[in-house]
């Protein structure tokens, strides 16, 4: 029963990892930008949730109503103001600039909030759970998982059924030709980053409710996000959800064996999968 | 007829290789202009300069009376120019219809039912309707060439730039493509067409320019140009007495 429980809890955790990954995957897919600061942006969203929920005295999940638009605006400004200028034939400048951004964010947060671990207080819902036989499923993890699946479904729908989604896919296929079809690259990239950071905002607030956080944990979240994207296969958003879930289950089973092995077990699962399927489990079909 | 496109002393070089050498010429609204010249003469570079993929080092480019020299490619497209590529460049992961839809929404600024209507009309005119839901990456060469044309037309251009769209096609395929282009022209769209398949070109254009080493070496009525000795020597590589 403990093992089944571990798998179920791992699956629910995987939803959160998929949210970490979705923003990363979107940014890479549309503009071939590897965002090293992604983990720190997740942490920034968690702190933003903390400040807003304490300042306004509202529930952290309600604070999402503000965190999401703020992060989206920040994303658009960041892309148009800085990141667009780093994109070109050379992949090094965006890596360096986002690495620098990561350092700035970490130290900025450290300066403002100190290194003390913080947590978002979600109240009674944190301990409430649904009993299924011997399994106890927390309402909060269930809610977060459902939200993750809904967000990923919405992203998938957006890609295939809206003008913006088609603009993203066209740019992803052939950036130069897309511009000759009248597509304003700078704006489309700004929108992609805005959308990615809106998803990141949700991920950050969920993270802050689930566990305690401090300014230094961004790097680890970035790695989990990367692993989920790669396990699922680049360019496949449902694959990203699967990747997150597989990573979550791996970590959860590792922790079941020995509490110290949680993160290690996740990395081992990731290594095993790329050793067998270097392009991930569900790579995009077209070349 | 007013002037639709005007190049003024446009120059672009890569080191010692000059792809556009002080080119000055213009295109009247509604005109169909053919461009010929040997490989590497700077024909495709001319298109890149006009559409904004490449910036001139000096000189100005005007479109519909406006100086567009400093405009980015996307803005030029929305102002009414569209091109096809010699090597087709479809959005391979998207369907034919979606390829058209991107052009109609982004290039022509159409939304909803209007965008749909543009796409369906263009796909019908270019014979791609049966392939509307096929993934663009799975098309044959002829279909890809037609998609190049369809996507350009979906942006609702005033000026259509065709880059060797008839190359590599069989005679029959070429004939039907020429018919499609003639129909496009009949709707009032101005055309500049780079083509090695001269008989296809001559079936459509009413003026011909010859380019070599980035320079315009001839400009005039197609029959006169094709009969000129200089063109036959340089372009066709024929001996003078043939």
Element (H, E) at A216: none
Q: Is residue A270 part of a domain?
A: yes
User: Tell me, what's the pLDDT at A146?
Assistant: 96
User: Tell me, what's the pLDDT at B74?
Assistant: 94
Tokens (6 digits) for A200: 């990141």
User: Tell me, what's the pLDDT at B13?
Assistant: 92
Q: How far is A16 from chain B (nearest CA, A)?
A: 28
User: Tell me, what's the pLDDT at A287?
Assistant: 37
Chain A, nearest residue to B47 by Cα: A180
Q: Is residue A285 part of a domain?
A: no
Domains in chain A: how many in total? 1
Q: Is residue A249 part of a domain?
A: yes
User: Tell me, what's the pLDDT at A235?
Assistant: 76
Q: Is residue A184 part of a domain?
A: yes
From first to last of its 242 residues, chain B has per-residue pLDDT tens of 589 999 999 999 988 889 999 899 999 999 999 999 888 889 999 999 999 999 999 999 999 999 999 999 999 999 999 999 999 999 998 999 999 999 999 999 999 999 999 999 999 999 999 999 999 999 999 999 999 999 999 999 999 999 999 988 889 989 999 999 999 999 999 999 999 888 899 999 999 999 988 999 889 999 888 888 777 776 666 554 44
User: Tell me, what's the pLDDT at A124?
Assistant: 86
Residue-range definition of the domain harbouring residue A257? 2-124+134-276
Chain A, nearest residue to B112 by Cα: A163
Interface test with B, best of A182, A188, A234 (most B CBs within 10 A): A182
- Residues facing A118 on adjacent strands: A213
Q: Is residue A52 part of a domain?
A: yes
Q: Is residue A24 part of a domain?
A: yes
Annotate A263-286 with DSSP letters as a single string.
HHHHHHHHHHHHHH-TT-SS--S-
Supply the CATH number for residue A210's domain. Answer: 1.10.3470
Closest CA to B24 of B211, B223, B198: B211
DSSP B135: B
A-chain CB neighbours of B106 within 8 Å are 163, 167, 170, 178, 181-183
Which domains does chain B carry? 1-80+157-242 (3.40.50.300), 90-155 (no CATH)
A99 burial level (CB within 10 Å; 0-12, 13-18, 19+):
middle
B-chain CB neighbours of A237 within 8 Å are none
B-chain CB neighbours of A176 within 8 Å are 53
Q: How far is B10 from chain A (nearest CA, A)?
A: 20
Interface test with A, best of B106, B153, B156 (most A CBs within 10 A): B106
Closest CA to B212 of B228, B194, B234, B196: B234
Instruction: Flag if A286 and B137 touch (Cβ within 8 Å).
Output: yes
Instruction: Give per-10-residue mean pLDDT for chain A (287 aa).
Output: 90 95 92 94 98 96 97 98 93 95 97 95 87 87 95 95 94 90 94 97 96 95 95 88 96 94 95 92 65
Q: How far is B44 from chain A (nearest CA, A)?
A: 14
Interface test with A, best of B74, B84, B96 (most A CBs within 10 A): B74
Closest CA to B36 of B167, B181, B168: B167
């Amino acid at each position: 029963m403990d093992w089944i429980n571990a798998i179920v809890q791992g699956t629910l955790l995987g939803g959160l990892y998929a949210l970490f990954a979705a923003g990363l995957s979107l940014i890479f897919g549309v503009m071939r930008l590897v965002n090293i600061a992604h983990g720190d942006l997740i942490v920034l969203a968690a702190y933003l949730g903390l400040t807003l929920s304490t300042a306004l005295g509202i529930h952290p999940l309600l604070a999402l109503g503000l965190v999401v638009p703020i992060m989206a605006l920040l994303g658009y400004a960041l892309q148009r103001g800085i990141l667009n200028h780093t994109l070109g034939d050379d992949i090094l400048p965006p890596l360096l600039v986002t690495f620098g951004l990561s350092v700035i964010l970490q130290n900025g947060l450290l300066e403002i909030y100190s290194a003390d671990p913080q947590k978002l207080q979600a109240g009674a819902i944190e301990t409430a759970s649904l009993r299924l036989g011997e399994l106890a499923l927390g309402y909060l993890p269930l809610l977060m998982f459902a939200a993750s699946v809904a967000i990923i479904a919405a992203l998938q729908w957006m890609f295939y059924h809206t003008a913006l989604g088609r603009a993203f896919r066209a740019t992803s296929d052939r950036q130069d030709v897309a511009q000759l079809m009248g597509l304003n690259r700078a704006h489309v990239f700004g929108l992609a980053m805005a959308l990615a950071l809106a998803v990141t905002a949700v991920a950050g607030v969920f993270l802050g409710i689930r566990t305690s956080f401090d300014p230094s944990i961004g790097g680890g979240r970035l790695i989990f996000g990367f692993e989920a994207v790669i396990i699922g296969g680049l360019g496949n958003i449902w694959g990203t959800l699967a990747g997150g879930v597989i990573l979550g289950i791996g970590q959860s089973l590792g922790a079941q064996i020995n509490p110290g092995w949680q993160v290690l077990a996740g990395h081992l699962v990731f290594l095993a999968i790329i050793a067998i399927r270097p392009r991930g489990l569900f790579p995009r079909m077209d070349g | 007829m007013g002037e639709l496109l005007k190049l003024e002393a446009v120059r672009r070089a890569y080191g010692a290789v000059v792809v556009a050498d002080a080119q000055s010429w213009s295109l009247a609204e509604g005109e169909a202009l053919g461009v010929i010249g040997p490989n590497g003469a700077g024909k495709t570079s001319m298109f890149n300069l006009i559409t904004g993929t490449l910036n001139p080092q000096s000189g100005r480019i005007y479109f519909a009376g406006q100086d567009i020299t400093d405009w980015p490619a996307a803005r030029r497209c929305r102002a009414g120019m569209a091109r096809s590529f010699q090597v087709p460049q479809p959005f391979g992961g998207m369907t034919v219809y979606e390829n058209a839809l991107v052009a109609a929404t982004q290039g022509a600024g159409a939304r909803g039912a209007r965008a749909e209507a543009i796409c369906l009309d263009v796909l019908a005119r270019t014979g791609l309707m049966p392939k509307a839901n096929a993934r663009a990456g799975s098309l044959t060469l002829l279909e890809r060439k037609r998609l190049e044309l369809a996507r350009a037309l979906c942006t609702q251009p005033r000026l259509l730039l065709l880059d060797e769209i008839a190359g590599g096609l069989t005679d029959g395929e070429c004939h039907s493509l020429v018919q499609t282009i003639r129909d496009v022209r009949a709707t009032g769209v101005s055309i500049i067409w780079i083509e090695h398949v001269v008989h296809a070109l001559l079936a459509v254009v009413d003026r011909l320019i010859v380019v070599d080493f980035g320079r315009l070496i001839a400009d005039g009525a197609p029959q006169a140009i094709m009969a000129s000795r200089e063109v036959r020597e340089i372009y066709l590589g024929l001996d003078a007495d043939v």
